[in-house]
Amino acid sequence: MAIVEATKVNRAAPVAVYPDTVIAISALRAGFSLNGQRILPSTGEVFLAESVEKLEPKVMDVLLVLASCAGDAISAEQIFAIVWPRSVYSPVAVRRSVNQLRNLFLDHNKSLIKTHPKRGYSLHAEVVLLSETNSVPALPLAEATKTAQQSVAAARAPWWISVFCLLLCAGSWVLYAVFWPADVVAAADAKAKWTVADLQPLTASKAQESFSQFTPDGNAIVYLKDATVSGDSELWLAPTNGQQHRLLYQTEAQIKFFSFVPATAAKKTAAEPSAWQLVIATEQDNSLHFASLLLSADYQLRSSSRHLSLSGSKLLNPFFCAENEFYFLALQQGEQRLFKAHLSSGQVDLLYVPSQQFSPYRIAPAADHNYLTLLGFDDKKRSQIKLLSKNGAELTDYKTLDANWYFIVYHATAKGYLLSDGKRLFYLSPEQELSRLAFENYAFIHYPVLSPDGRLLSYSQARIFGNIYSLDLGSQKKTQLTSATAHDWQGSVSPDGNQLAYVSNKNGHSQIFILDVQRKTEQLVYHNPDQHLAVSQPLWSADGKQLAFARNDRLVLLDLRFLGLNTLQPKVRYFDTVIGQPSQWLQQPDRLLLVQKSQKLQRWIEFDLATAEQKQSVSVGDLLYHQNQRYQINQGQLLDAKGTPLFQAPENRQILRHFVKNNGVFLLLSAMQSSTVQSKPEVWFFAFPSQKASKISNITLSQDIAETDISDINAQQLLYSTFAVEKDIHTIRILPRNSKG
């Protein structure tokens, strides 16, 4: 049985909406008023009585749908099909958008947007269209509405035009399916075409469920709840027939991942008769531990036993068991190494050490039981699938993907691999043909896994939230700079201090925005058309006219000189042969310093934009430059090119991050990991002209923010972003394209 996507996208049937609704949505996009409040969909602006607010594009689209059929109920399914036409239906997105609209319009009693149980939502307001000439933001609301208004009802066409539009709409769906571009969905096996259906949340609580596995018989799903209120990690069991979930195992150690042992191997290695054996990996006291849970046929815990421990190791990815062995990638001494461990003896063998040419980040079984599947980055930062013999002696190429990172699982029944880039799902056939499943998610897909029969898919869905804040280094006053229900992070202040460039996934994938700090207006400056998942922090040039960043570790430049002139967008320049993340604009014209941090030694690249010349060097610590003078940061020291210390951090402190400016470098100091002394992070400034360092401020932030989410520092302020995540387990059925389920 193969999991294969059809050559045409399997879209939902045309939504039964009034044809004049479609016309009304098109008309509304030019601008309209809602109970006298002007709304400009093209910019996302809503002109309230005392402020101008901005809506996320998808939330604005939901408002357009509601406004187009004001007074009539429209179901959540219909709204979702219009706003998210390529996604599997989930009511959460609609509820979230409706709640945002209610909060914006202070509709606390739900009289503006009414909920009709089992029927949907309806908007109750006066909706009038604005002419194009009167939808310019500079016009006062009263003038704009007075000069040209037209009711939505008057814009609706006669019934015979409505019928014609409905037929045209249905025909468009057919043509869209037939002529869907082949480069979006790869050609696949025409005899076995599959799609996905019945998206169901397996969990929907405030707890964080981060990982799941099917039991070997496929009758249940075991999932991981991250540390609970008590501080324990928990494994829960959820029968696939919908019966009540129950707690399977609980421990004060942090469970990282787990894997079932094949039934034949479990019988050989179990100390007592047992139907199932579940190997769990936990972390505690800076050590990685492996143990087995022995389960009865009805998944009752019988006993547990320890296998082995590795000090100074971390497990970053799922592992898997095969026969009397299990294989895992562990972070040791700054690099992710591949190990083989024996269940019975506890012996551990090192199989593979990463190199500059290939560094694995995921592992999976292979069709040939004598090999393992490794997924990693090559020297060009492309994801590659390779096969490694189980004795570690032979490594062969299998498939080169692209610059994204992926999750990967091998499925014997499907005879191929299931992959996810965090947003989409793919099937890699035994013939090495990659095809895309007709599924698109607006949250992040983590750790997809298939049931033994290949008919059910389980994965962890992660929603990330956070905003960017400014901390005044003098008064310690905190100011919120961005406000989104998604995730805004990696903020950088322009040299003049008037603009904030940052990354946001408010539109469903990473994009770059610029916020005018004084006017409180923002502009989308990089759309990320290919929807690359990894977009690095934007870096301002000294004159504030360019931004440098990396998407999937490939250099991108934005020329901002035309920003603000009508609707012109910045000029985008791609440098796909330049691998690394921008670290500093050098003072020579058009030169950048980039860094690659995939190995223990950091690789630095001086790149000349005019000549495309790349000058590379390697260091243990961080590099920075001032007027052609090279400096280096190693933990608690700032050194010159000769290795002479210029600054030494106070006792028990280390330099966590640095931020280079024109006349010096700001240093963020925090307590060393080995230190038992709890103290506030500090900000110091090293001046290049005087070669002296001085303490600027202690900062009052929680330790997790101080260590991970500070993105920029200047003389007046420090930027940081908050971070919250909601994780739940979801399931999807895998069906033949023509199946009725």
Beta bridge partners of 626: 629
Band the pLDDT of 196: cuts 50, 70, 90.
confident
Per-residue pLDDT at 152: 34
DSSP classification of residue 533 = S
Domain boundaries, the chain: 19-178, 205-407, 468-720
Measured distance CA(493)–CA(501) in Å, rounded: 6
Per-residue pLDDT at 436: 87
Which amino acid does the sequence have at 451?
Answer: S
Q: Is the pLDDT of residue 623 over 80?
A: yes
- Decide whether 19-178 matches 205-407 in CATH topology: no
Q: Is the pLDDT of residue 183 over 50?
A: no
Q: Tell me the CB-side half-sphere exposure of residue 71, using CA atoms within 13 A.
A: 5
Per-residue pLDDT at 486: 84
Of 606, 525, 511, 515, the residue nearest 559 (C-alpha)? 525
Per-residue pLDDT at 11: 30
Q: Is the pLDDT of residue 476 over 80?
A: yes
> Interhelix angle for 57-68 vs 19-28, to 10°?
130
Per-residue pLDDT at 670: 87
Percent of the residues in the chain that have a pLDDT greater than 90, as a whole number: 49
Per-residue pLDDT at 133: 35
Per-residue pLDDT at 43: 83
CATH pick for 468-720 out of 3.30.160.110, 2.130.10.10, 1.20.1250.20, 3.40.50.300 = 2.130.10.10
CATH pick for 19-178 out of 3.40.50.2300, 3.90.1640.20, 1.10.10.10, 3.90.1150.10 = 1.10.10.10
Q: Is the pLDDT of residue 384 over 90?
A: yes
Helices (H), 84-140: 91-104
Measured distance CA(409)–CA(413) in Å, rounded: 12
Question: Per-residue pLDDT tens for 511-567?
Answer: 999 999 988 888 899 999 888 889 999 999 999 999 999 999 999 999 998 776 555
The residue assigned the tokens 């022995």 is 294
Measured distance CA(128)–CA(136) in Å, rounded: 16
Per-residue pLDDT at 257: 97
**Sequence-separated (6 or more) residues with CB below 8 Å from residue 537:** 490, 491, 492, 503, 549, 581, 711
Per-residue pLDDT at 674: 59
Of 32, 21, 19, 30, the residue nearest 150 (C-alpha)? 32
Per-residue pLDDT at 537: 97
Residue 328: exposure state from Cβ atoms within 10 A (0-12, 13-18, ≥19): buried
Beta bridge partners of 492: 501
Measured distance CA(71)–CA(58) in Å, rounded: 21
**Sequence-separated (6 or more) residues with CB below 8 Å from residue 354:** 335, 336, 337, 360, 376, 599
**Tokens at 440, concatenated:** 């698109």
CB atoms within 10 A of CB 473: 19
Q: Mean per-residue pLDDT for 258-272?
A: 65
What CATH number has the domain spanning 205-407? 2.130.10.120
DSSP classification of residue 481 = -
The residue assigned the tokens 């606390």 is 108
The listed range with the strongest mean pLDDT (138-142, 397-401, 565-569) is: 397-401
CA dihedral 127→97→25→149, nearest 10 degrees, is: 20
Question: Per-residue pLDDT tens for 47-86?
Answer: 887 778 888 888 999 999 999 888 888 998 889 888 887 6
Measured distance CA(76)–CA(116) in Å, rounded: 10
Measured distance CA(561)–CA(557) in Å, rounded: 12
CB atoms within 10 A of CB 566: 5
Band the pLDDT of 675: cuts 50, 70, 90.
low
Which uninterrupted H or E stretch holds 25?
helix 19-28
Phi, psi of 91 (to 5 degrees): -70, -15
Q: Is the pLDDT of residue 353 over 50?
A: yes
Per-residue pLDDT at 359: 93
**Tokens at 612, concatenated:** 């495309």
Residue 376: exposure state from Cβ atoms within 10 A (0-12, 13-18, ≥19): buried
pTM (predicted TM-score): 0.74
Q: Is the pLDDT of residue 229 over 80?
A: no
Per-residue pLDDT at 628: 86
Q: How many residues does the chain have?
A: 741
Question: Per-residue pLDDT tens for 32-53?
Answer: 889 888 999 988 889 887 778 8
Task: Please state, in angstroms and as integers, the Cα–Cα distance from residue 305 to each residue in 263, 268, 290, following that order.
Answer: 17, 15, 9
CB atoms within 10 A of CB 171: 11
The residue assigned the tokens 């028990």 is 652
Q: Tell me the CB-side half-sphere exposure of residue 186, using CA atoms within 13 A.
A: 13
Q: Mean per-residue pLDDT for 694-699?
A: 91
Q: Tell me the CB-side half-sphere exposure of residue 467, using CA atoms within 13 A.
A: 11
Q: Mean per-residue pLDDT for 5-17?
A: 31
Per-residue pLDDT at 599: 60
Per-residue pLDDT at 239: 93
CB atoms within 10 A of CB 662: 9
Per-residue pLDDT at 42: 84
Q: Is the pLDDT of residue 703 over 50?
A: yes
Question: Per-residue pLDDT tens for 386-396?
Answer: 999 998 889 99
Is the distance from CB of 666 to CB of 696 less than 8 angstroms?
A: yes
Is the distance from CB of 230 to CB of 247 less than 8 angstroms?
A: no
For the sheet containing 246-251, what is the strand order?
Answer: 209-214, 220-225, 233-239, 246-251
Phi, psi of 728 (to 5 degrees): -140, 160
Does residue 649 or residue 195 have the better pLDDT?
Answer: 649
Is the distance from CB of 335 to CB of 600 less than 8 angstroms?
A: yes
Is the distance from CB of 36 to CB of 145 less than 8 angstroms?
A: yes
Q: Is the pLDDT of residue 173 over 80?
A: no
* DSSP H helix total and E strand total for the chain: 9, 57
